[in-house]
């Protein structure tokens, strides 16, 4: 710091109303918010279904999609109207995947914690040649339909949906939000459902060629705000990168599961193909299991 400012007490930061200081003061949480932040972070780490997952389950029953991918409050239909009129809870103007309340809490509390979770990445295979084979409007419609159908599956499997990028969707299955210890099974079921809704089981073939990867491991999950004010609830860490790499190795109509996913979901592997993959950025080859759309594995019944 330049000494002359200290001597004259005219340094801009000595002004208590300076925008930077005001912003710093704002970051100081109230006692109530501090408690809420601790509860949220503990909730993410907690493996037991807390109150929050029951609240999500309840909201999921209200009509209708689309809904907040965090709290599952509906944006449309009678349920959407109810929340908008009674609680002023509606789609955030910054992040269309989230409601204004979840967005506000994410921004205000800046919360996050490490947790074990299953991570699902689904992407359209060969989207570049696909885009070349159709008009831009047709391609936009295909992507739109892909987002709609896959986010519907993910929301209804209690996943948290991360941002939708290009030709890819991402869902995180976190015990707290999923509501129990069967998060890996739910992720595998959702992966198979995504292949079904994109038409991979149809005799005439899929309307969008999709490959899915599911990995289970520990990642950091929390709110991340960008400079333009957008809040994302996202997961970070090596395990997330691994999940993404698995998806990139899945051919159309395939689900690539990591060993940890198969173990955690307690899957029967007799119908699955075993492969060893060299993943980008990984020193050791990784053993994986591959599910084709036809061989729906018998997982424990999920409600
Ligand atoms: Zn919400």
**157 lies in some domain:** yes
Q: Do 275 and 288 form a contact (C-beta atoms < 8 A)?
A: yes
Q: How far apart are CA 219 and CA 131, in angstroms?
A: 34
Distance 280 CA to ligand 1 centre (A): 35
**59 lies in some domain:** no
Distance 123 CA to ligand 1 centre (A): 25
The total number of structural domains in the chain stands at 1
Q: Which residue has the higher pLDDT, 255 or 297?
A: 255
- How confident is residue 5, by pLDDT bands cut at 50, 70 and 90? very low
Q: Do 188 and 261 form a contact (C-beta atoms < 8 A)?
A: yes
**145 lies in some domain:** yes
**154 lies in some domain:** yes
Distance 252 CA to ligand 1 centre (A): 33
Closest CA to 208 of 148, 120, 123, 293: 123
Q: What is the pLDDT of residue 226?
A: 80
Is the per-residue pLDDT at 189 higher than 90? yes
Q: Going along the chain, which residue ranges are E strands?
A: 112-124, 160-161, 168-173, 210-225, 231-236, 254-258, 273-277, 286-292
Q: Which residue has the higher pLDDT, 198 or 229?
A: 198
Q: Do 108 and 28 form a contact (C-beta atoms < 8 A)?
A: no
The helix (H) or strand (E) run that includes residue 249 is helix 238-249
Average pLDDT over residues 98-111: 92
Q: What is the pLDDT of residue 163?
A: 76
Distance 88 CA to ligand 1 centre (A): 12
Distance 109 CA to ligand 1 centre (A): 15
Q: What is the pLDDT of residue 147?
A: 93
Q: Do 57 and 179 form a contact (C-beta atoms < 8 A)?
A: yes
pLDDT in tens, 235-260: 999 999 999 999 999 999 999 999 99
Distance 163 CA to ligand 1 centre (A): 15
30 Cβ partners below 8 Å, 6+ apart?
Answer: none
Q: How far apart are CA 250 and CA 245, in angstroms?
A: 9
Pull the structure tokens for residue 86: 């009674």
CATH number for 142: 3.30.70.1230
Is the per-residue pLDDT at 173 higher than 60? yes
Distance 101 CA to ligand 1 centre (A): 6
pLDDT in tens, 25-35: 556 889 999 99
Distance 46 CA to ligand 1 centre (A): 20
Q: What is the pLDDT of residue 24?
A: 54
- How confident is residue 23, by pLDDT bands cut at 50, 70 and 90? low
Of all residues in the chain, what percent carry a pLDDT higher than 90? 59
Distance 217 CA to ligand 1 centre (A): 25
**16 lies in some domain:** no
Question: Which residues lie across from 216 on neighbouring strands?
Answer: 118
**225 lies in some domain:** yes
Q: How far apart are CA 254 and CA 17, in angstroms?
A: 58
**200 lies in some domain:** yes
Distance 102 CA to ligand 1 centre (A): 4
**Structural domain range at position 193:** 110-292
Q: What is the pLDDT of residue 12?
A: 52
Of all residues in the chain, what percent carry a pLDDT higher than 70? 86
Distance 104 CA to ligand 1 centre (A): 9
Q: What is the pLDDT of residue 3?
A: 44
Distance 70 CA to ligand 1 centre (A): 5
Distance 92 CA to ligand 1 centre (A): 9
């Amino acid at each position: 710091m330049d000494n002359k400012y200290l001597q004259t007490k005219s340094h801009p930061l000595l002004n208590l109303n300076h925008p930077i200081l005001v912003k710093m003061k704002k970051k100081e949480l109230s006692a109530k918010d501090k408690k809420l932040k601790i509860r949220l972070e503990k909730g993410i780490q907690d493996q037991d279904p807390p109150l929050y997952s029951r609240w999500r389950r309840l909201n999921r029953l209200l009509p209708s999609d689309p809904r907040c991918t965090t709290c599952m409050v509906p944006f449309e239909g009678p349920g959407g109207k109810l929340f908008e009129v009674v609680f002023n809870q509606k789609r955030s103007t910054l992040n269309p995947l989230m409601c204004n309340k979840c967005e506000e809490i994410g921004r205000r509390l800046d919360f996050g914690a490490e947790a074990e979770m299953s991570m699902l990445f689904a992407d359209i295979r060969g989207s570049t040649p696909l885009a070349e084979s159709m008009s831009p409007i047709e391609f936009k419609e295909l992507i739109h339909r892909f987002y709609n159908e896959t986010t519907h599956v993910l929301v209804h499997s209690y996943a948290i949906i991360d941002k939708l990028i290009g030709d890819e969707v991402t869902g995180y299955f976190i015990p707290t939000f999923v509501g129990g210890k069967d998060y890996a099974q739910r992720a595998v079921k959702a992966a198979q459902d995504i292949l079904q809704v994109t038409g991979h089981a149809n005799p005439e073939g899929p309307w969008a060629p999709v490959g899915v990867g599911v990995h289970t491991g520990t990642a950091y999950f929390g709110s991340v705000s960008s400079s333009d004010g957008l809040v994302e609830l996202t997961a970070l860490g090596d395990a997330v990168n691994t999940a993404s790499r698995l998806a990139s190795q899945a051919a159309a109509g395939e689900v690539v599961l990591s060993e940890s996913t198969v173990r955690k979901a307690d899957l029967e592997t007799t119908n699955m193909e075993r492969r060893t993959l060299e993943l980008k950025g990984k020193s050791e080859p990784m053993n994986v299991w591959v599910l084709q759309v036809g061989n729906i594995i018998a997982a424990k019944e999920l409600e």
